[in-house]
Copies of this chain bind each other. A is one copy, B any other.
Amino acid sequence: MITNKNCIIRLSRYKNALYRLQALGFVKVFSDNLADAVSGTASQVRKDFSIFGISGNKKGGYQIDSLLEKLNSILGKDQLQKVIVVGAGHIGSALMRYRGFEKEGIKIVAGFDIDPAKINRSSFVPVLPLDEAKAFIKTHSIRIAILAVPDIAAQQATDIICASGIKGILNFAPLGLKGTEGCIINNVNLEIELENLIYFVNVTEKTR
């Protein structure tokens, strides 16, 4: 099994680059075109493809449309992915209003909050009381949740949604969560992203 997260991220980048090339009218692509488009190397492009059994044509490159089909299938983009947001505060509502996920086949179908003032059943993405999350997750077979509650509530909210059947969580709270067995947690830690950037800015500044 592939455990290399970077490899999957590259597949996403290839996919995005292919859509751009397709929009420009290209029909086929070579490994080095793709490499350029994602700032990688041609051998890595070919190796990534070969890992997933994707093959092109000697001297002919890859057919963009069929390549996209294969990548999309690997990335689970051949079906609409329904996602919920838990915590309809600043970050949560920014995400719910964002339309960019849709073109990626990702649809935020509902938000959940404990604050009654945040509830709004008639908005474009309805915001429902947290009590209803369990039933909603089960009824709509939701597997992915975005967690955007205050730090202090993050573990508790995780426990609830894991117990309700959520299989993957994208967590914005800057702390390590413990999910149940069988629930994957990916963290988006903006504090750490900034710290990291600051570190590298500092060292490149010093070493020149």
Instruction: Give the bracket for the number of chain A residues in contact with chain B.
Output: 35 or more
A170-202 vs B: 1/0 string, CB under 8 Å? 100011100000101010101111111111111
Per-position binary interface string of chain A over residues 32-58, scored 1 when its CB falls under 8 Å from any chain B CB and 0 otherwise: 000001110000000000000000000
- Bound together, the chains give a CA A160 to CA B5 distance in angstroms of 33
Given contacts A90-B94, A94-B91, A174-B16, contact A9 B192 (CB under 8 A): yes
Pick 23 A–B contacts, CB within 8 A, sort by A.
A8-B195, A8-B196, A9-B192, A12-B195, A13-B192, A16-B175, A38-B176, A76-B195, A83-B194, A90-B94, A91-B94, A100-B174, A100-B191, A104-B195, A106-B195, A143-B201, A167-B205, A169-B197, A170-B197, A182-B204, A184-B200, A186-B197, A188-B188
